[in-house]
């Protein structure tokens, strides 16, 4: 028994080179790095705009102390990569290290011309391309900014959420930018960061956001039939009770609570069909980060 546990632990801690050098991982990483390169050289660095995290620190240090961006990007990411190595896994750390080195090398050897000097365009498109790059690299299995690793680690130690930790860190960074470049540039840098964050979220989570739609209805058998047969959606059924109204607390009835995974464009049609069956049906909607297994968006069951 002990030898089996040791073998499994060793396998979990080993580096999955096949995953690192898979075509999809390489493609995502390379496209992500080039997108970040375009954002940094074509929009942000020539105009003294910052992003959050280690990228922002590296830009600020190059401007203040003339420390090359490529060197500071690698140096300041190393502690985060070590934490990722210890807390997340070796394969992730190697993926991240390769992406960071690739970005640092390309920043040194390749130069994109400045695209624009318009501050609004820089904030929007600079943030879009850096966010696109971050998201694609994450899809490839790595990161080009180690701040989220330390945020996750600190979250376990002190109880603050990841978003709170990142916000505090970046607030200090943007205050430093305000002292060095002026308050206006710092404010535009916040817009860069916000745009990058939203873009990377879309790339990582997918543009087709999935939603859990739960339905409580007295006509639950008909509702189940309509969702499965008319809309071709899989359902999960929970046993529950309906009733417990403020003016009739004692009135309650057993029912099936029907839950299905849908996309945003499907919610309205399904809700309308259910309301045609039961005008008093109760709905609640929850955002879903990821869907795997069962019947997915192409309505094909996985085996």
Q: Which of 11-25, 68-82, 190-204 has the lowest mean pLDDT?
A: 11-25
- Residue 105's pLDDT is 95
Q: How far is the CA of 145 from the CAs of 56, 57, 96, 99, 303, in angstroms?
A: 10, 10, 8, 10, 37
Average pLDDT, the chain: 82
Domain 210-288: which topology? Alpha-Beta Plaits (3.30.70)
Burial 31-44 (b: 16+ CB within 10 A, else e): bbbbbbbbbbbbbb
Tell which wins on pLDDT, 157 or 47: 47
Chain region(s) in the chain for CATH 3.30.70.120: 210-288
Summarize pLDDT for 228-274 with one digit per residue, the tens.
Answer: 998 888 999 999 888 887 887 888 888 999 999 887 667 888 888 89
Would you state the pLDDT for residue 243? 80
Cβ density class 239-277: b for 16+ within 10 Å, e for less: eeebeeeeeeeeeeeebbbbbbbbeeebeeebbeebeeb
Angle between helices 147-158 and 53-65 (to 10 degrees): 120
């Amino acid at each position: 028994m002990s030898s089996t546990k040791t073998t499994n632990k060793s396998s979990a801690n080993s580096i999955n080179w096949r995953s690192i050098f898979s075509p999809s991982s390489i493609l995502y990483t390379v496209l992500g790095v080039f997108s970040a390169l375009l954002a940094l050289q074509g929009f942000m660095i020539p105009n003294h705009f910052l992003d959050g995290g280690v990228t922002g620190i590296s830009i600020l240090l190059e401007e203040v102390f003339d420390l090359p961006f490529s060197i500071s990007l690698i140096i300041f990411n190393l502690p985060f990569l070590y934490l990722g190595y210890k807390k997340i896994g070796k394969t992730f750390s190697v993926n991240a290290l390769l992406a960071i080195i690739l970005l640092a090398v390309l920043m040194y050897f390749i130069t994109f011309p400045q695209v624009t000097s318009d501050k609004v365009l820089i904030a929007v498109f600079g943030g879009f391309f850096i966010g696109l790059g971050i998201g694609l690299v994450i899809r490839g299995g790595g990161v080009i900014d180690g701040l989220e690793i330390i945020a996750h680690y600190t979250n376990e130690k002190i109880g603050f959420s990841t978003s709170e930790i990142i916000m505090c860190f970046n607030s200090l960074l943007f205050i430093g930018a305000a002292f060095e470049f002026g308050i206006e540039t710092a404010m535009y840098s916040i817009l860069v960061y916000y745009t990058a964050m939203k873009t990377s979220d879309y790339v990582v989570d997918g543009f087709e956001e999935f939603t859990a739609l739960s339905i409580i209805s007295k006509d639950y058998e008909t509702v189940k039939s309509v969702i499965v047969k008319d809309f071709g959606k899989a359902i999960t059924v929970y046993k529950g009770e309906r009733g417990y109204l403020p003016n009739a607390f004692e009135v309650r009835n057993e029912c099936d609570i029907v839950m299905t995974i849908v996309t945003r464009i499907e919610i309205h049609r399904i809700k309308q069909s259910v309301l045609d069956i039961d005008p008093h049906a109760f709905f609640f909607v929850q955002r879903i980060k990821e869907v795997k297994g069962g019947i997915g968006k192409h309505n094909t069951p996985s085996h």
